[in-house]
Structure 1
Amino acid sequence: MEIVVSNKTSRPLYEQISTQVRAQIMSGELKAGDPLPSIRSLARSLQISVLTVQKAYDLLQTDGFIETTAGKGCFVSAQNQDFYLEEQQKKIEEHFTEAIEIARTSGISLDKMLNLLTLLYEED
C-alpha cells in the first residue's frame, strides 16, 4: 500500500490518507481482509503524527471501509464497496439536481446539458 501526503495542499493530512486508502480499496488494489499498516508504522513512514493516522483510520472505520480487531490491527472491510458506491451516487444525484435547477432557470436545454456532461466526463 502506497500513501503520499503533502503539506502543500489545503486538504488535511488525515483526509489525504483516508482518500488514498479508499481509492485503493475501490480500485481493487486493496481487497477485503487485507491488513493495513499499523498506525505507528504508517505514521513513521510518512513522518507524521500517530494521531493524524489514527484520525484517518477512525474516519475509514466510521465510513465502513476498514475494521479494527483489538490486538491484530486494521483490515479492509468486506462490505465497503457497495456502501461507498451508494454514498457516491447520492452525492452525484445532489449535484445533478442543483445543476438541473440552474439549467432550467437559465433556459439551458437538456441536449446542451447532456453534451456538457459528456464533454466533462470524457475530459482527461
Structure 2
Amino acid sequence: MNILIATNSKVPLFEQIKDQIKQHIFTGKLQEGDSLPSMRVLAKELKVSVITTKRAYEELEREGYVISTIGKGTFVAGQQPHVLKEWQMREIENELERVVQSGKQIGLTKQDFIELLDVYYEEDV
C-alpha cells in the first residue's frame, strides 16, 4: 500500500493516511478482505507515531471502511457497489462544499461556478 505523507501540509497526518486508504478502496487497489499493515508497521514505514496510525484506523473503522479484529488485524470491510458509490458521492459533496465556501469568500457567483464546472467537466482527465 502506497501512502505519501506531506509533512508541510495543513491536513493532519492521520487524516492524510485515512484519506489515502479510502482512495485505495475507492479505486479498487484495496478490496474487501484485504489486510492493512499493523498500526506499528505502518507507523514505522511512514515515520509517524503509532498514535497517528491508530487514529486513522479508528476513524476508518467508525466510518465503516475497515474492520479490526483483536489479534488478527485490520481488514477492508465489504462494500456493495451502491454503498461504495454513496461514500464517494459524500466525499465529493464535502469537497464541493469546501470549494463553494472558498469561492464565496472571494466573491464568485453561482454563474462563475457553473462556467468553471463546464470547463473542468469537458476537459479530458
TM-score of the two chains, using structure 1 as the length reference: 0.77
How many percent identity over aligned positions? 34
Amino acid across the alignment from 2:91: Q
Confirm whether residue 68 of structure 1 aligns to residue 68 of structure 2: yes
Q: Distance in 1 between matches of 2:5 and 2:62?
A: 21
What is the match of residue 11 of structure 1? 11
Amino acid across the alignment from 1:8: N
Alignment of 1:23-62 (within 5 A): 23-62=23-62
Q: Distance in 1 between matches of 2:25 and 2:18?
A: 10
Unmatched tracts of structure 1, length 5 or more:
none
- Following superposition, the deviation at residue 89 of structure 1 comes to 5.6
Q: Distance in 2 between matches of 1:45 and 1:96?
A: 33
The number of aligned residues is 115
TM-score of the two chains, using structure 2 as the length reference: 0.76
Which of the pair has more CA radius of gyration?
1
CA RMSD in angstroms, aligned pairs only: 2.8
**The residue matched to 1:32 in structure 2 has which SS?**
coil
